[in-house]
Amino acid sequence: MIELLQPEIQKFIDDHINDQPADLMLKASQFPDWPMKVIVEQIAAKRKAQSKLPEWFSTKGLIWPAAISMEQCSSEITAKYKASIVSGKLMADLTGGFGVDTYYLSKKFSGATHVEMNAELHQVVAHNFDCLKANIQTVLGSAEDYLVSMDGVDLMYLDPARRDSDSQKVVFLEDYSPNVIEMLPQLQQKAEEILIKVSPMLDIKKAISDLGSVAEVHVVAAKNEVKELLFLLRKEPAMTLVKAVNLGESEAEVFELNYEVEESAKPEFSEVLNYLYEPNAAILKAGAFKSIGSEFGLKKLHYNSHLYTSNVLVSEFPGRAFQVLDELSLNKKRLKKQLQSMQANVTVRNFPMSVKEIRSKTGLKEGGDQYIFATTDQEGKKVLLCEKVK
């Protein structure tokens, strides 16, 4: 590891950050004393960090981990979000990994510990935390062993590995490593709060019931793609608050709900009016299908369509908003007459055909600035031509 820190090798990594691995391997004979395969892996990992971890990318002297740890680590933007929802004196990250979450979370605590059972990764992280001047204790060992011996903390954080022994992705809590469900009683003894990151594929209501004492659920999307589901456990919470967050470049869309209110909400339905709204991905994952409409005074197109409508524009809606221009036919000839060009962004919500089927039936190409929604409203199936407002 130390030899990777030679200034010439660090310069080579930066000079070739955008080069292809195969091209770089061809240069290996020019540098017979260098571990070229490892250097090429460093370049590939660092390239990934450029957008995922911009602050670390621009820090000199960091060592990058194996591809799997680069893939598993949180991004800077989602790690910073986690840091915004917790604080206290002491915290421990029992599944430290590459340490991205530990690093950003530690800024909200006076003492932090990173526990990782992979010795090579532990060594990389200890070196990087020094470079980053982070005051974080690093422990090599298993979460289970550390939990037995450790003192109490304010926050215990876990982002368990979601791969089985054959490196296949797993979704359910019981299959994670470590098994958080088994560890729960001990975790609760040692921590005031427990924050657990799980697969975005997990069913939220089932996880609330499996974990118990869930005070907050955070559905975290970045640029409209759900990245993380976070469960914050506290001792005997009065209720579970669900926050759907869509992180953008500079601002975030935040929508709060609770499932009791959601279940009792009575949506108003309407055929399509002047404006059409599609909630962001975090709100859809959170399942705020009724409360999102009532909160913004919008009517819903159909019980299962999850699209909303109004006569007057509601510009603060957390998601995309469109002006409805026309109703379309999916008959190729008629559609050609109705559209300016045969290129459009197509979205399907509660409609019997997929986007692919619509494209092959009509010959519509992807992209452009025309938007088509194929859906069902109070009157039946509808194909709507829209202009994006936001």
Ligand X SMILES: C[S@@+](CC[C@H](N)C(=O)[O-])C[C@H]1O[C@@H](n2cnc3c(N)ncnc32)[C@H](O)[C@@H]1O
Comparing CA positions, the residue from 37, 40, 42, 90 lying closest to residue 66 is 42
Count of CA atoms in the C-beta half-sphere (13 A) of 359:
12
Q: How many residues bind ligand X (CB under 6 A)?
A: 22
Strand order of the β-sheet with 90-93 is 136-140, 111-116, 90-93, 153-158, 191-198, 225-233, 214-222, 241-247, 252-257
Instruction: Give the residue with the Cβ less far from ligand X, 42 or 291.
Output: 42
Instruction: Give the residue with the Cβ less far from ligand X, 107 or 388.
Output: 107
Instruction: Give the residue with the Cβ less far from ligand X, 116 or 377.
Output: 116
What part of residues 140-159 is at the interface with ligand X (CB under 6 A)?
Answer: 142-144, 159
Strand order of the β-sheet with 299-300 is 299-300, 308-310, 275-279, 319-327, 380-388, 371-377, 345-349
What part of residues 79-108 is at the interface with ligand X (CB under 6 A)?
Answer: 95, 97-101
**Rounded CA separation 28/4 (Å):** 15
Smallest separation, CB 143 to ligand X (Å): 3
Of the residues 10, 72, 123, 345, which one makes contact with ligand X according to CB under 6 A:
72
Smallest separation, CB 193 to ligand X (Å): 17
Smallest separation, CB 253 to ligand X (Å): 24
Q: Does 76 bind ligand X (CB under 6 A)?
A: no
State the DSSP code for 182: H
Comparing CA positions, the residue from 240, 75, 234, 236 lying closest to residue 155 is 234
Question: Among the candidate windows 46-54, 70-78, 213-221, 318-326, which touches ligand X by CB under 6 A?
Answer: 70-78
Q: Does 118 bind ligand X (CB under 6 A)?
A: yes
> Which amino acid, one-letter code, is at 103?
Y
Smallest separation, CB 168 to ligand X (Å): 15
Instruction: Give the residue with the Cβ less far from ligand X, 180 or 344.
Output: 180
**Whether 147 contacts 113, CB under 8 Å:** no
What part of residues 158-187 is at the interface with ligand X (CB under 6 A)?
Answer: 159, 161, 177-178
**Rounded CA separation 360/354 (Å):** 10
Phi-psi region of 68 (alpha: psi -120 to 50; beta: other; left: phi over 0): alpha
Instruction: Give the residue with the Cβ less far from ligand X, 47 or 227.
Output: 227
Smallest separation, CB 384 to ligand X (Å): 41
Smallest separation, CB 6 to ligand X (Å): 26
Comparing CA positions, the residue from 233, 291, 239 lying closest to residue 264 is 291
Q: Does 200 bind ligand X (CB under 6 A)?
A: no
> How many other CB atoms are there within 10 angstroms of residue 152's CB atom?
11
Of the residues 39, 47, 53, 74, which one makes contact with ligand X according to CB under 6 A:
74
**Rounded CA separation 162/321 (Å):** 35
Question: Among the candidate windows 127-135, 137-145, 331-339, 350-358, which touches ligand X by CB under 6 A?
Answer: 137-145
Give residues in contact with ligand X (CB under 6 A). 69, 72-74, 95, 97-101, 115-118, 121, 142-144, 159, 161, 177-178
